[in-house]
Amino acid sequence: MKSFIFDDPDDISGIGIRFYPKLRAGQKVKNRKTEFETLSQHSPQGFMPLGAYSYSHSVFHAHRIGRYCSIGTAVTVMGNTHPHTWVTTSPITYKARRRRLLGVQGENRELTFDESVAPVTIGNDVWLGQNVLLKGGICVGDGAVIAAGSVVTKDVEPYSIVGGNPASVIKSRFSDEIVCDLVGLQWWKYKYDCLQHLDFSDPQLFFKYFPAAEYLNELPEKRLNVVEHIDQYRKNNSQ
């Protein structure tokens, strides 16, 4: 989890990488190898694998986060797993170091267990409320909403609203027909500039006036780490 130090945060103002709260000169930001799109806003605690137009106030174990996502504070992923199908879940049975620290003597069976937790995958246009706890390895579908304080233990279907402990489906954001149309349209592939005239508050009007292909400006996905983004920006501006 190597950090990146911003000697002068103003140097990145033109790249499209934003932070909230604002960075201080000399501040370290973790996860320097994380790949993300520009036009994204990160927490000074660390970079997240965000898509364009997404923001995160949290830093957690994620493989990929789509575009137009809104992530609140204190979102986390569950910690290391334990062997719940064994006689005991205690790591003393498979961790030699723990046995040594506790002064255990004699021969051990040398059992092995992988405690690691898989990262989560989050689709596009997802809203995660504050204090959400996610099980490692789950996928949150496009357009989903997870209520604040929820404990999510399984995949979340596109455009569903879930909440509780454990989280369950409260309702769908839209009818099946509208969900199908939104998933098929994949409007998040395009620059917001060519969509901002649309009425996002009314799905039917959104579909009705959605621009024809010749009027759309697709935003190619380009995920790089912070060093690569800065190098690319400097290269483009030196020509």
Q: Inform me whether the pLDDT recorded for 111 exceeds 90.
A: yes
Determine which helix (DSSP H) or strand (DSSP E) holds 10, and give its type and residue range.
Answer: none
Is residue 1 predicted with pLDDT exceeding 80? no
CB contact at 8 A, 44 and 29? yes
Active site residues: 82
Tell me: pLDDT of 82 over 80: yes
Burial call 151-190: b when 16+ CB within 10 Å, e when fewer: bbeeebbbbbbbbeeebeeeebbeeeebbebbeeeebbeb
Structure tokens at 68: 């137009």
Q: Which two tokens stand for residue 81?
A: 């797993």
The pLDDT tens digits of the residues spanning 196-227 come to 999 999 999 999 999 999 999 999 999 999 99
| pTM, two decimal places | 0.94
Average pLDDT over residues 26-31: 94
Beta strands in 43-166 (DSSP E): 55-56, 62-65, 70-71, 76-77, 120-122, 127-128, 133-134, 139-140, 145-146, 151-152, 160-164
What number is the average pLDDT over the span 129-138? 98
Task: Looking at 142-225, list the stretches that DSSP marks H as alpha helix, in order from N- to C-terminal side.
Answer: 176-185, 203-208
Task: Report the pLDDT averaged over residues 140-144.
Answer: 98
